[in-house]
Chains A and B, each alone.
Chain A
Amino acid sequence: MAARGALLRYLRVNVNPTIQNRRERALPFTAILRRFSEEVRGSFLDKSEVTDRVLSVVKNFQKVDPSKVSPKSHFQNDLGLDSLDTVEVVMALEEEFGFEIPDTDADKIHSINLAVDFIASHPQAK
């Protein structure tokens, strides 16, 4: 399995969009470093790891009651987050995973599940 993964990573051709100015500014330093790491680019993250990291990002929000947060939590209905809160969550997830979530996709992320699905299916997530 590991050999297959390593082989795929070696063979895979990366087609990354050019880094835009404003995105660079928004990324933390460690994410920029990792961006240049060949092995890291182009691989998908493990879903349970993504779930853990998303849960901890959301639990970190002052407004959120950590005891209410579960993988199924809906931002609005379960956690009482409004549109501005959701935007802050999306931004915190971008910082955690080191890639920019397009607005049209961000608009559809209404729950932890949807965030996890989106991030786990994105090769640029770190």
Chain B
Amino acid sequence: MRTSIMSQMQRSFSIELPKLVPLQLPSRMETHLWYVIPDEVKSTSLLKQYSQLLSPPENDKVLQMRGDKLQKNALLARTLVRTTIARYQTNNGVDPRTLMFKKNMYGKPEVDWQNYKNCSDPPLHFNISHTDSLVACGVTLHVPVGIDLEDKDRKIKHDVLTLAERFYSTDEVTFLSTIPDPEVQRKEFIKLWTLKEAYVKALGKGFSAAPFNTFTIQFKAGTNGGYNLCKEETKKCNRDWKFGLLELADSHYAAVCIEDDQARAPMRVIVRKTIPFVEDELISESKFL
């Protein structure tokens, strides 16, 4: 499903933005995963439009990054968040520039809804992740979400098991050490990394609240499959958090983690590729137990 929006003429003194196509809110236990491939966004006038969406402190932060590539990715990340959140607002025509953001007491970014007095829209949660070559944003309704991306081919400088012994839980080290092929082992290490990172980000209390070696994420194959989250200390496992692992753009692993809202239903993840103001493309819909 491809929707193209005609990008309107941008006069330098005009504050008018092209219209954003509205989006239907995520359903219960559903995550919308949006991504942008920076290399596909080449138009300097489009990038200039994007920088006009950002607040002055956001723009400062972008400019603080050293190097064009880092700056572009930072710009795209903020643009993706602002335009995507704006599109979910049911009262038409929410200007993405008016959105305000704040950090929770642990530093996790969230939308500051105080701007909208008669905001009857239920709270959206979002989380961003990006690598050198991909920028993604996950959106949910009511429940906290965390996402993490890693390049599938990234090189690990240290021995994978040494890194795991230092940072992962004992059960995860055991799991990795049973993998004979070093390439498969490297891949599984990275997948686990994204899952663990997504969980900590969904939790939103900072890395110190859930050090990587205090919990295990364990995959259960089969019809009642899915991921268990287990505490290292007690070895107790639960399904309070739902995990999904996907491959994006043929180049990345993406992990999604949301808090289960007692529905004990599978999590659906709808992946869409986008270039803000230009086009959307539905990529996939998956279900995770």
Chain A residues with Cβ under 8 A from B65's Cβ?
77-78
Are B165's CB and A77's CB within 8 A?
no
Are A87's CB and B167's CB within 8 A?
yes
Are B157's CB and A22's CB within 8 A?
no
Interface of A is mostly: helix
A-B contact count (CB 8 A): 51
B99-155, CB < 8 A from A: 131-132, 150, 154-155
Kindly provide the distance from the CB of B129 to the nearest chain A CB, expressed in whole angstroms: 9
Are A80's CB and B206's CB within 8 A?
no
Are A83's CB and B67's CB within 8 A?
no
A interface list, Cβ under 8 A from B: 22, 25-26, 61-62, 68, 77-80, 82-84, 87-88, 91-92, 103-104, 107
Q: Does B162 contact A (CB under 8 A)?
A: yes
Are A77's CB and B197's CB within 8 A?
no
13 contacts between A and B (CB under 8 A): A26-B162, A77-B64, A78-B66, A79-B66, A80-B69, A80-B132, A84-B150, A88-B157, A91-B162, A91-B163, A103-B211, A103-B213, A107-B206
Are B206's CB and A22's CB within 8 A?
no
Residue of A nearest to B208 (CB): A104
Top 9 closest A-B pairs, CB basis?
A78-B66, A107-B207, A103-B211, A104-B208, A77-B65, A88-B157, A80-B70, A107-B208, A84-B193
B19-69, CB < 8 A from A: 64-67, 69
